[in-house]
A and B are shown apart, each in its own frame.
Chain A
Amino acid sequence: MEIDRVDGRTANQLRPLACSRNILNRAHGSASWSQGDTKVLAAVYGPKVGTKKNENPEKACIEVIWKPKTGQIGKPEKEYEMIVKRTLQSICVLTINPNTTTSVIVQVVNDDGSLLPCAINAACAALVDAGIPLKHLAVAICCCLADSGCVLLDPTKLEEQKTKAFAYLVFPNLTLSILPEGSLKVEGEPVEQAIITSVTQGAMSVDDYLHCLERGRAASAKMSAFLRRSLPPQNPSDSSRAG
């Protein structure tokens, strides 16, 4: 099957990734993540005292604020906030600092498709930069279904608008080299096979969805390698500024 993407990539190619940490001075942790032309800036303010009214005070709470590039904050932004919040809650160790709130602020710099995965990646990198304890990292990717039934990875905005269905997928990212065999298996399946978040839009068949999952997981392996390479501190004398 021939896939002709506008920018010349194959179905399995991602756009160039760029990640930089520690770009803001006041925030406790900050990171910017860009995939091609989509760029998102995330900042984290470390554990602050108190939780909101509806939250469980026995656990730490994560608060996400999504700032679009222009315009008012509406329902789509609230939905993104909720998705990012739940995703980050599953990777943070919430029992370490009970009754605290960690704020994650996501600022969209440019949107050229695959915005939510880019934001989740940026938020994860910002949490690492702030020194918030995490169980494991998360890598997010977008897969869309082309008309021919092929799965395209990391679509641009035009491709996302033309496609009939797409899925945002977030996978966990563990360091396999450290874990011994047989550990961290949940119900007989290794944790690496888990899916943290999946948001789909449009109708797709079950087979297509499973196909998306496979491709997404394969691509996430490369992305998580990139993430791990860019996260180590550039300046070894950097200390955590939380608190």
Chain B
Amino acid sequence: MEPRLANTWRLTVNEKKFIETALQSDLRIDGRRPFEYRKISIKFGREDGSTEVQLGQTHVMGFVTAQLVQPYKDRPNEGTLSIFTEFSPMADPSFEPGRPGEAAVELGRVIDRGLRESRAVDMESLCIISGKSVWSVRVDLHILDNGGNLIDGANIAALAALLTFRRPECSLGGEDGQEVIVHPPEVREPLPLIIHHLPIAVTFAFFGNETSVVIDPTHYEEAVMGGRMTATLNANNDICAIQKAGGEGVLQSVIMQCLRIAGQRAHDITTKIKNAVESYNTERALRKIKRHSNSVSLDISGADVDVVKNQNRSFDQKGVSERSKLIPGKSIADQSMDIEGETKSSKQGQTNRIEGDAKSFIGGPSSWDPYAGGVNLDLLKASLASRGTSTPSRKEIYSRGENMSCEAKPVEPPKDNSLASSPIEAAKTPLGTNGEKTLKDAVKSKNKRKKKASSAGGS
């Protein structure tokens, strides 16, 4: 694919002069001081080992996967680590798909050197059978948005992904103990990688006039700069790697000053990464705990109902659009699965009505709307009447838990009062009116937002 000249973004002469002149007075165009980093935000995805890092306007995604392979002949006891960087064409109009350019190769090499040579990731723990079977860890870094300083952003993404990655546990089996049995995550908890230290890359940009140095250049500054240096070091002030590939000549004293500053920044960034990973791990642990306690609360009693309610409330306190909100709803839906088999039998009979109400569920940060279609109340009451009391009571508990977290709606308070007053083996009619909400709540799947939507729409 031939590069199209019109696509390369070029800085105008005026902009260049402006940036250089501003730097002479220690002013940067985004208002930062010369040795100030941009805001770093680290988010984690659904699976273990997937992260999204934002360094100012730079967006990088990292994914870690692992598979069993044969080790290299000269290192039979060690696993392998490989880093693949993708400069996605969405990051910059000048990035072309296909073979990686020099910048992509350099970025990959710098991060690789930082992780491998400094022995940050423990390779020997990845060995299962010496000489035959080791884990090969693969890190994929996707650059989504080039806001400058891709090396640092990609490095943080790689570290965060490696810290949250979990590899399946495996054991030796078979006749002579030579077979490797990989246990799926449901059977045995997957294990994290052993990471000894975190090598953080800190990039400096040098500008010709008066040897001005800035840290963490934006893409405007990168277009103007005369030279660049990346220092990879860890929180113990050990230098893992330094990369200065050509560019402007720089005084030794300036280099030493940069390294000192890099040490402080590396310390800050390490703390940030560790905090983010810790909160992810707590959330992950909470997810597991939540599922177990719900199965306990199926023994119906007033105390247990309160337990479910409180747990739902505490989850709600976590923030509106986090995925963690969906998870308590999901675990509830898992258990009410068999109930739904019965409800669906009555609902399937009315295919026309269901088609008309093809339900779409709106969740997520950008939009939330009450559920547009309505649910046929008569049908629900009829379906409830055909079932026993035990099943609605389970849903009643869940719906109480859900409804506690709903925004106050006018219809709900009277229903909640009746729920509170009626015992579990209550008469069918009050359960029928409450059941209209419980049935809808059970029928809708994981998202609590959807249950809110359904109760708003139906009532």
Residues of A within 8 A of B (CB): 1-4, 6-21, 23-27, 30, 34, 37, 39, 41, 43, 45, 48-50, 52, 65, 67, 69-70, 101, 103, 105, 107, 109-110, 150, 153, 214-215, 218-219, 221-223, 225-226, 229-230, 234
Contacts of B330-382 to chain A: CB distance below 8 A: 330, 333-334, 336-337, 340-342, 344-345, 347-348, 354-367, 369, 372-373
Q: Which B residue sits closest to A10, measured CB to CB?
A: B344
Is A16 within 8 A of B449, CB to CB? yes
Q: Which B residue sits closest to A44, measured CB to CB?
A: B90
Q: Which A residue sits closest to B446, measured CB to CB?
A: A7
Measured CA separation A26–B449 after assembly (Å): 33
Measured CA separation A56–B251 after assembly (Å): 56
- Residues of A contacting B86 in the complex (Cβ-Cβ under 8 angstroms): 67
Is A222 within 8 A of B358, CB to CB? yes
Is A8 within 8 A of B367, CB to CB? no
Q: Please give the distance in Å from A156's CB to the nearest CB on chain B.
A: 11
Is A16 within 8 A of B366, CB to CB? no
- Residues of A contacting B427 in the complex (Cβ-Cβ under 8 angstroms): none
Extra pairs beyond A4-B344, A24-B91 (17, CB < 8 Å): A8-B333, A8-B340, A8-B445, A10-B340, A14-B359, A17-B360, A18-B365, A20-B365, A20-B366, A26-B147, A45-B89, A48-B7, A65-B97, A69-B63, A107-B144, A219-B358, A222-B358
- Residues of B contacting A7 in the complex (Cβ-Cβ under 8 angstroms): 330, 333-334, 445-446
- Residues of B contacting A13 in the complex (Cβ-Cβ under 8 angstroms): 359, 361, 443-445
Indicate the member of A21, A103, A107 with the most B CB atoms within 10 Å: A107
Number of interface residues of B (CB under 8 A): 68
Whether, in the assembled complex, B57 has its beta carbon less than 8 Å from a beta carbon of chain A, the answer is yes
> Which of B34-42, B45-53, B102-110, B188-196 contacts the other chain?
B45-53
Is A26 within 8 A of B146, CB to CB? yes
Q: Please give the distance in Å from B256's CB to the nearest CB on chain A.
A: 34
Indicate the member of A21, A25, A45, A225 with the most B CB atoms within 10 Å: A25
Is B341 within 8 A of A2, CB to CB? yes
Residues of B within 8 A of A (CB): 1, 4, 6-7, 45-47, 50, 57, 59, 61, 63, 65, 84, 86, 88-93, 97, 138, 140, 142, 144-147, 219, 326, 330, 333-334, 336-337, 340-342, 344-345, 347-348, 354-367, 369, 372-373, 442-447, 449-450
Is A49 within 8 A of B6, CB to CB? yes
Is A70 within 8 A of B65, CB to CB? yes
Q: Please give the distance in Å from A191's CB to the nearest CB on chain B.
A: 20
Is B361 within 8 A of A3, CB to CB? no
Q: Which A residue sits closest to B56, measured CB to CB?
A: A25
Is B355 within 8 A of A215, CB to CB? yes
Could you show 26 A-B contacts with beta carbons less than 8 Å apart?
A2-B342, A6-B337, A8-B340, A8-B442, A8-B445, A11-B344, A17-B360, A17-B364, A18-B363, A20-B365, A20-B366, A25-B57, A26-B57, A27-B145, A45-B89, A45-B90, A48-B6, A49-B6, A49-B7, A50-B6, A153-B358, A218-B358, A222-B360, A222-B372, A226-B360, A226-B367
Is B88 within 8 A of A223, CB to CB? no
Of the candidates B45, B337, B363, B449, the one whose C-beta lies within 8 Å of that of A8 is B337
- Residues of B contacting A103 in the complex (Cβ-Cβ under 8 angstroms): 89
- Residues of B contacting A214 in the complex (Cβ-Cβ under 8 angstroms): 355
Q: Which B residue sits closest to A3, measured CB to CB?
A: B344
Question: A26-B92, A41-B144, A49-B4 are known contacts. Are A222 and B359 too (CB-CB below 8 A)?
Answer: yes
Is A105 within 8 A of B444, CB to CB? no
Measured CA separation A221–B372 after assembly (Å): 12
Is B334 within 8 A of A8, CB to CB? yes
Measured CA separation A105–B91 after assembly (Å): 10
Is A8 within 8 A of B336, CB to CB? yes
Is B142 within 8 A of A16, CB to CB? no
- Residues of B contacting A223 in the complex (Cβ-Cβ under 8 angstroms): 360
Q: Which A residue sits closest to B367, measured CB to CB?
A: A230
- Residues of A contacting B140 in the complex (Cβ-Cβ under 8 angstroms): 69-70
Measured CA separation A229–B336 after assembly (Å): 32
Is A48 within 8 A of B4, CB to CB? yes
Measured CA separation A55–B172 after assembly (Å): 57
Q: Please give the distance in Å from B348's CB to the nearest CB on chain A.
A: 5
Q: Please give the distance in Å from B39's CB to the nearest CB on chain A.
A: 14
Q: Please give the distance in Å from A220's CB to the nearest CB on chain B.
A: 9
Measured CA separation A121–B61 after assembly (Å): 21
Is A16 within 8 A of B364, CB to CB? yes
Q: Please give the distance in Å from B298's CB to the nearest CB on chain A.
A: 16
- Residues of A contacting B442 in the complex (Cβ-Cβ under 8 angstroms): 8
Is A8 within 8 A of B446, CB to CB? yes
Q: Please give the distance in Å from B291's CB to the nearest CB on chain A.
A: 14
The 4 closest A-B pairs by CB, nearest first: A18-B364, A43-B90, A16-B363, A222-B360
Is B364 within 8 A of A19, CB to CB? yes
Question: A16-B362, A50-B4, A50-B6 are known contacts. Are A105 and B89 too (CB-CB below 8 A)?
Answer: yes
Question: A18-B363, A69-B63 are known contacts. Are A221 and B93 too (CB-CB below 8 A)?
Answer: no
Is B4 within 8 A of A34, CB to CB? no
Q: Please give the distance in Å from B65's CB to the nearest CB on chain A.
A: 6
